[in-house]
């Protein structure tokens, strides 16, 4: 009886070892396949049309930039969420910017240069100014287009308005944080 019990336990231990080995190999096999699938591809697919992902990323980048732009012009709005009507105005503005980018910049050029922060910043700011001035987007924030144009100091210590995208020798600075107040109280714009 003892040999049968020993033999039984040997079979159980051998079975457990084989099962453990199979699980171990499956773990590394599956993990290896997953790691193979997630490798970073250094070659990018050249786009011939605007994909949903690219539209989303561009509109989202514009929206975040618009929030920063508005807060820069009115620091009292910092850490306040925009109410639904204001969020809608900002999204309409960003789709205007997106439409202008799609119309004026070929997708191949956009895809190559989008990670160049200075090129992208100038492109977005130029298109944002066009939308605010020509399409009258963001009416809750910009009633007078003069306040949205950045001021730049010249060599003569004079201040002049420079529209991004126009040629000029001076370096652009951020807009002044002291905009003219409209009739509405701007501190309640972002409150929900």
pLDDT (tens digit per residue) in 134-177: 999 999 888 765 445 554 445 555 555 544 444 444 444 444 44
Q: Does 100 fall in a domain? A: yes
Q: Does 108 fall in a domain? A: yes
Q: How many domains does the chain have?
A: 1
Cα gap 19→3, rounded to integer Å? 24
Would you say 172 and 164 are in contact if contact means Cβ atoms under 8 Å apart? Answer: yes
Q: Does 41 fall in a domain? A: no
Per-residue confidence band for 44, with pLDDT thresholds at 50, 70 and 90: confident
The domain of 138 spans: 52-144
User: Phi, psi at residue 170, to the nearest 5°?
Assistant: -90, 160
- 37, 42, 46, 50 alpha-carbon torsion, rounded to 10°: 60
The predicted model scores a pTM of: 0.55
In the block, residue with structure tokens 């922060």 = 117
Per-residue confidence band for 123, with pLDDT thresholds at 50, 70 and 90: very high
In the block, residue with structure tokens 């012009």 = 73
Q: Does 113 fall in a domain? A: yes
As a whole number, mean pLDDT of residues 116-140 equals: 93
pLDDT at position 142, please?
80
Q: Does 159 fall in a domain? A: no
pLDDT at position 152, please?
47
Tens digits of residue pLDDT in 70-120: 999 889 989 999 899 999 999 999 999 999 999 999 999 999 999 999 999
Q: Does 170 fall in a domain? A: no
């Amino acid at each position: 009886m003892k040999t049968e019990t020993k033999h039984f336990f040997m079979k159980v231990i051998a079975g457990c070892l084989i099962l453990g080995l199979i699980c171990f190999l499956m773990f590394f096999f599956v993990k290896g396949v997953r790691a193979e699938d997630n490798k970073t591809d250094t070659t990018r697919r050249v786009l011939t049309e605007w994909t949903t992902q690219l539209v989303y990323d561009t509109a989202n980048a514009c929206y975040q930039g618009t929030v920063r732009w508005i807060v820069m012009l009115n620091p009292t709005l910092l850490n306040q969420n925009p109410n639904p009507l204001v969020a809608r105005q900002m999204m309409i503005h960003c789709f205007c910017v997106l439409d202008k980018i799609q119309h004026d910049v070929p997708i191949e050029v956009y895809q190559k240069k989008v990670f160049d922060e200075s090129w992208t910043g100038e492109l977005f700011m130029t298109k944002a100014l066009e939308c605010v001035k020509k399409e009258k987007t963001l009416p809750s924030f910009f009633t007078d287009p003069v306040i949205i144009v950045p001021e730049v100091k010249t060599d003569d210590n004079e201040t002049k308005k420079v529209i991004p995208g126009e040629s000029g020798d001076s370096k652009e600075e951020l807009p002044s944080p002291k905009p003219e107040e409209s009739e509405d109280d701007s501190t309640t714009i972002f409150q929900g």
